[in-house]
Structure 1
Amino acid sequence: MSHNPVHTDRRSDRTTLGLESGLEALRESPAFRGPVEPLDGHDSNDHLALVYETREEQFAAAVPFVEQGLDRNERCLYIADENSETEVLDAMRNADVNVDDALESGALTLHTKQDTYCRGGSFDPENMLAFLEAAIEEATEEYEALRIAGEMTWIFGDDPQIEDLVEYEGRLNHLLPDEDSIALCQYNRNRFPAEVLRDIVRTHPHLVYDNTVSHNAYYTPPEEFFGPDRPAREVERMLKSLRDRTIATEKLSRRERELKRQNDRLESFASMLAHELRNPLSIAQIYLEQAVTDDGDAAEEVATALDRIEEMIDVLLVTARTSEADIDYEAVDLSEAAADAWADLSPEGATLRVETDRTIQVDPVHCWHLLENLFSNAVEHGSTTPRSKSREDAGEHGAANSRPANATAERATENEQLSADGGLRGDDATLTVSIGSLEEGFYVADDGSGIPEGERATIFDAGHSTEADGIGLGLTFVARLVETYGWDCDVTESEAGGARFEFRNVETGA
């Protein structure tokens, strides 16, 4: 059908108006529950069937449907039959709809079956569709769209053919998608035979029942409903519906599991934060006491420890945000970063062997925390040195968890010495930790006791620890950073039988 220029211009803005499908409007209404997105695979999403059992239930859906149209500057056409026009208007007034102004302006029009469905003396689908086409064209010359709400009990008056009604409902699915219009056909469940309602359900893409808008899994397009192969197509649709419901249930279950993982992750971060901040806070408290009477470097050590706390908070926030994190990438020399982290750890009885000259793109603070946790894990779990000794002993020297700018040089002079093979060696070294290059990244390995193959899949889980007093969050922290950067991480056995962490898909170079 043709449209005047004003209507054509208005139609070009349908997406802006929220009328790409009539269901867009229902999304904005709190009066309806349930999914009201367009039905995938079908063109008609502007045709709804309201199935109700009481007048209260009927008006609870029909009145908000009309009110929403008036609020959106749409003309609303209501066809009354089971209820009188007075009863319909009273129901709208009781819901605080400004009926009088809407009637006076023409935004709301009321009709009966005689001037709509049965004009000409009897029901003719062709005549009714022509009436609606004319009504849509007239309405859209002044309004944004035409909203139709029709009571369907008129069918029991002149005894029209049920086949004609079903044909009409099916043909509406071809008319409405091409027009700025949405229709709500109202069916009283107590008055329509079950076999009729069954066909009505099948000819409406969406259903409204108990104020809930539902995608109609039983909807059958007109060309299929009236086609010669209807039984075969119904079987196909039923099977597809069963499959789709199963898939939807599986997706919902996965989503619930994901939400649980996210909640668990938040809890683990809270524990991790407390764990990671405990040592620097203790150091700060110790030196703060000294700073009261000591004019030496105690105050500087306190400031360094507090800076470390601030860094860890920033890193934890980044790992919590993962893909949404704002990362300051820099070219970081792995050998320098490793020496820096090793110097701050100051482990006794362990040596760092640097076998890489690779540069990676990463935030330097993130890189330091990653390496420090890996080195700490190797020292704590790969050697015979007690888990807390390396950090506690280093704390006595003011080194654990502090990170001055020239940390590498300072730490290498007091507790460590540069070995002939290029490693940072502690006194009486019994463990060697290595860092080297891979084709697309790097690795950190040790020659300690290793990680049993059966535990490698769980070592990154929060709470996993082989120590009685450990809470197992260092490697969880590593995993979160890896996830944030989109790297791949594998845990294997090193050549010496210890643990080996391999990081790939790492951006390298300057």
Structure 2
Amino acid sequence: MFYNSPHYLEKVANAVKHVNVHDHICSIYESRDEQLAVIIPFIRYGLENNEKCLYVADENTVEEITGLLSDGIPELQSYMDKGALTIINKTKAYLEQGRFSPEHVVEAIKKNIRTAKQEGYKAFRITGEMTWALSGDPGVEHLMEYESDVNHLYEELDAVAICQYNKNRFSPEMIRHILYTHPVVIYKGTVCRNYKYVPPEEYLSPDAASAEIDRTLVQILEIEKREESLLEKNIELQVINQKLNAEIEMRKQTEDLLLKTLRELERSNSELEQFAYVASHDLQEPIRMISVYTRMLERQLEGKLDPRSRQCLFFLSDGSKRMHALVQDLLAYSRLTSAKEPFVPTDINSVLSEVMLDLQVAITDHNAEIELEEMPRITADPTQMRQLFQNLIQNAIKFKSEADPFIQICCERSDSEWHFSIKDNGIGISPEYNDRVFVIFQRLHEKEKYPGTGIGLSVCKKIVERHGGRIWIESEEGSGSTFHFTISRSL
């Protein structure tokens, strides 16, 4: 394993970052690189977090470890100069009495913690190389008792410690006791809760062997319960997965059915549109013939018909005119699909100028006033834009109130669309009909008073939808109407 690879170092640093005050940790390592991968970020995070740090090196490694720490912590010397970090050898840390005295070491650590807090540091952080314990110094046989008992100190005071143990140097029996005395273990770059940890009360008890048996039996039961729970959860997950798979399969079948239905609807709509186009196109000639012969009859029989016959002839003429208008609107509606023009840069000011000319007679006859804002240049089908505005303005003039028509045309720009509005002071409609006005052949007013085919607004809806937008109306009966529509800016 490459313990100095950037990926490994980043992984370990992130793990060590979550070490907490009050933790008593053993770091089990097998090489210098593995050792430093843990210790450098441990010291660095402490210094950055305003914690006073102490490093206990082996007798002959103080200079070496100082250099290695400097490589990983560029500001190391500055921290050492102001006393935030101290590096000492094993003698000063553990053997000042000429022997290892757990009581003396514990008191020294307590003093360091108190001093750190008095100096304004958040906590005290200590780490030591434990290979000194292999030198056979007097009192070293009490090391594990010390390691167990010191857990009380770290639980109570604002301190955190990592004891560094080289797995290749210490015996398996010693490593076993090291694991018994540290609640947290760092191994292979992972910070772990230590399930082998034995609380000091048990570890230092004269009846430790009996207590270990009881604890082991309890652990066996807990492990068995956890395995049973995991098995139950696994079975539950399998059932859930089966249900999910069935649900996914059902949804897939539903999606396939919807897709098939959509394709059939598209085909049906296409056929209907084609039929409407062909039918309306083919109806033009018969309707024209009816109109021509009706006019001939009117001329030839002028003054010769009784009132009932004149009424019948009027109905025939009026019906042919309405049928002609309906056929023309149907053709226009069909051409929206069959005769699409490409989207090109379109000046809406120019479009509206052309619409005003087309509607000049209606505008003059109804004394209509139209107020225009400066309009944008957009990407659109110019022919359909002309048809859209003409239908909406014509609609505003047609459904006027007793007052002269006043029409306002505005536009707002957003990040994704153009928002146009056409507001009038006409008769308006009840809000309950707001959605129905765009349905083809839908008529909401008396045809005698407001003639028309009921296709105009459905044409507007189809044009707007082709341009990636939506159309809606805001209206109150007797208070005028405002038609809104949007055009996408990403065409």
* TM-score after normalising by structure 1: 0.46
Q: Which has the higher contact order (CA 8 A, sep 6+)?
A: 1
Higher helix share: 2
* TM-score after normalising by structure 2: 0.48
